[in-house]
């Protein structure tokens, strides 16, 4: 009996350590939440997939929505069929009919991908606002709470300061993306990055093993930061958006060698200027009314806005 009680305590402790700010939800739970908001039937699919952070009116359905389905292991064409279905549906439905576009996208997965799993909770990625909040919380917990200290950390895009690396490690732990004992949490990174190419897990395993040999074992902050930026960021965008209100500065950091595909900066009635720092790539800026989209492979973008 005593041994069983100890096991329960250990399990509860592990769960508490792992939980931090992490959110898991099932499709069933997301549906119940949407029903509380009195979402009409035609827009229910859009609401559910927005709660699971899989649907965006701008880009459509994330490929990792597939985590809510059980595909037939013998069906090698389910992904291709689903993608063709999505392309066909989205291409024929007007962009303003967002509820219909979301509903038909969900239907593509229902019809083509596999058996839907309504009850098992899945990892829900954070929003940029939640990411920024975690960074500020970690900075405060580690003793960096003044405006000058925060600005110094935000500008350290190359992680030259040990303090920045420790804040980043704290952010990764509280995001559920990393632990000192287990390293990178690849299933959660899969959701965060929107899926991986074949062979990526092997690449990360080899990269992590190399860093374990290269980085001193007592330098936990450097190891965590390098695993994220070297092993994950080398092929996928690893970004963090920090924003200050009023006269604002927005920073988007991408690991060297990665690509920032699109940055949306919406500043109503603002003068917006963009500067590229430490860039070896190209940057294209497109202005459309109040939206400014940046596309390129630069390492560090800085935008400044003067609110009117």
**Minimal CA–CA distance to 114: which of 149, 52, 146, 66?**
66
Confidence band, pLDDT 50/70/90 cuts, at residue 97: very high
Q: What is the mean pLDDT of residues 146-155?
A: 91
Q: What is the mean pLDDT of residues 133-137?
A: 92
Return the pLDDT at 266: 39
3-state class of 205 per DSSP? Answer: helix
Return the pLDDT at 41: 75
Fold of 128-232: Recoverin; domain 1 (1.10.238)
- Of the chain, the percentage scoring pLDDT greater than 90 comes to 56
**Minimal CA–CA distance to 123: which of 193, 179, 70, 182?**
193
Q: Are 302 and 242 in contact (CB under 8 A)?
A: no
Positive/negative CA dihedral, 27, 30, 35, 38: negative
Q: Are 220 and 180 in contact (CB under 8 A)?
A: yes
**Which sequence spans correspond to the domains of the chain?**
23-124, 128-232
**Which token pair is 126?**
């954070």
3-state class of 182 per DSSP? Answer: coil
Confidence band, pLDDT 50/70/90 cuts, at residue 236: low
Lowest mean pLDDT among 70-84, 199-213, 290-304: 290-304
Lowest mean pLDDT among 133-142, 172-181, 198-207, 240-249: 240-249
Confidence band, pLDDT 50/70/90 cuts, at residue 199: confident
* DSSP letters spanning 37-58: TT--GGGHHHHHHHHTT-EETT
Confidence band, pLDDT 50/70/90 cuts, at residue 259: very low
Same topology, domains 23-124 and 128-232? Answer is: yes
* DSSP letters spanning 216-280: -TT-HHHHHHHIIIIIITTTS----EEE-SSSEEEEEE--TT--EEEEEEE-TTEEEEEEEES--
Q: How distant is the alpha carbon of residue 39 from its chain centre?
A: 26
Lowest mean pLDDT among 11-20, 234-243, 269-278, 298-307: 298-307
- Given the candidates 2.60.40, 3.30.60, 1.10.238, 1.10.3470, the CATH classification of the domain at 23-124 is 1.10.238
Return the pLDDT at 242: 31
């Amino acid at each position: 009996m005593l041994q069983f009680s100890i096991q329960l305590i250990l399990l509860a402790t592990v769960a508490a350590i792992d939980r931090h700010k992490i959110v898991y939800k099932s499709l069933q739970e997301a549906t119940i939440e949407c029903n509380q908001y009195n979402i009409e039937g035609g827009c229910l699919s859009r609401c559910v997939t927005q709660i699971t952070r899989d649907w965006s009116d701008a880009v459509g359905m994330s490929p990792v929505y597939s985590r809510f389905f059980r595909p037939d292991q013998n069906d090698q064409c389910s992904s291709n069929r689903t993608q063709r279905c999505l392309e066909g549906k989205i291409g024929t439905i007007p962009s303003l009919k967002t509820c219909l576009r979301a509903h038909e996208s969900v239907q593509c997965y229902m019809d083509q991908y596999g058996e839907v799993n309504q009850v098992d909770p899945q990892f829900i990625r954070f929003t940029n606002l939640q990411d920024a909040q975690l960074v500020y919380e970690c900075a405060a917990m580690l003793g960096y709470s003044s405006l000058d200290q925060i600005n110094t950390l935000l500008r350290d895009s190359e992680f030259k300061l040990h303090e920045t690396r420790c804040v980043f490690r704290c952010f990764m732990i509280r995001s559920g993306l990393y632990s000192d004992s287990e390293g990178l949490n690849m299933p959660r990174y899969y959701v965060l990055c929107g899926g991986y190419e074949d062979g990526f897990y092997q690449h990360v395993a080899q990269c992590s093993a190399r860093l374990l040999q290269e980085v001193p074992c007592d330098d936990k902050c450097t190891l965590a930061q390098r695993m994220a930026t070297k092993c994950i960021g080398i092929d996928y965008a690893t970004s963090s958006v920090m924003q200050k209100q009023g006269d604002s500065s927005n920073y988007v950091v991408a690991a060297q060698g990665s690509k920032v595909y699109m940055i949306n900066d919406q500043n109503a009635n603002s003068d917006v200027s963009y500067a590229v720092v430490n860039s070896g790539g190209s940057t294209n800026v497109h202005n459309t009314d109040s939206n400014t989209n940046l596309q390129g492979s630069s390492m560090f973008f800085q935008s400044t806005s003067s609110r009117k």
